[in-house]
């Protein structure tokens, strides 16, 4: 798809990456991840908007704003993945293809992380590849948009 733009949305506590449980999430900061994403986007010729918030309602609003645009959302909703019906409903209503991403493998951790409120309204889930989860999601996004 020409003029594809990606919205990379990050939820709560992802601003703490780098120092937050490095054994689980690695040493890269969110700004390191943003740089890697922008570098790849430049090579692939896609536009990227990158945004982080700790607030559920702000995630809902960002998802809502994509409606009717040529966008794919790459979403790491953090802990809201496991709890937020509001974010789930926003994704369903926006009709914007959304890829769920996680740095850690949520299926190999505590049982409460195995359930995702958003998985079935997303196009797919990429989980467990650290910062590479975002880069893999970008490739998936381009394929999705080309379908
Ligand atoms: C996470 C996994 C979630 O369970 C957790 O609450 C996060 C980060 C991840 O990227 O691995 O905040 O989404």
> Domains in the chain: how many in total?
1
CATH number of domain containing 112: 3.40.50.9100
Quote the domain boundaries for residue 110: 5-146
Indicate which residue's Cα is closest to atom 13 of ligand 1: 78
Indicate which residue's Cα is closest to atom 6 of ligand 1: 79
CB-defined site of ligand 1, < 6 Å: 13, 76, 78-79, 81, 102-104, 106, 113
Per-residue pLDDT of the chain (147 residues; tens, 9 = 90+): 567 899 999 999 999 999 999 999 999 999 999 999 999 999 999 999 999 999 999 999 999 999 988 799 999 999 999 999 999 999 999 999 999 999 999 999 999 999 999 999 999 999 999 999 999 999 999 999 987
Q: Which residues are catalytic?
A: 25, 102
Long-range pairs for 46-51 at CB < 8 Å and ≥24 separation?
Answer: 46/4, 46/5, 46/6, 46/138, 46/141, 46/142, 47/3, 47/4, 47/5, 47/6, 48/5, 48/6, 48/7, 48/8, 49/5, 49/6, 49/7, 49/8, 50/8, 50/10, 51/7, 51/8, 51/9, 51/10
User: Do 97 and 141 touch, CB atoms closer than 8 A?
Assistant: yes
């Amino acid at each position: 798809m020409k003029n594809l733009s990606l919205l990379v949305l990050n939820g709560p506590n992802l601003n703490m990456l780098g120092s937050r449980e490095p054994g689980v999430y690695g040493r890269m900061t969110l700004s390191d991840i943003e740089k890697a994403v922008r570098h790849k986007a430049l090579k692939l010729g896609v536009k990227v908007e990158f945004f982080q918030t700790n607030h559920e309602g702000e995630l809902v609003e960002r998802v809502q704003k994509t409606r009717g645009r040529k966008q794919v959302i790459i979403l790491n909703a953090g802990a809201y993945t496991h709890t937020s019906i509001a974010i789930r409903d926003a994704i369903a209503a926006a009709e914007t293809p959304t890829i769920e991403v996680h740095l850690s493998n949520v299926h190999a951790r505590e049982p409460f992380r195995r359930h995702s409120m958003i998985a079935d309204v997303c196009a797919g889930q990429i989980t467990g590849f650290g910062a590479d989860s975002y880069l893999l999601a970008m490739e998936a996004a381009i394929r999705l948009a080309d379908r």
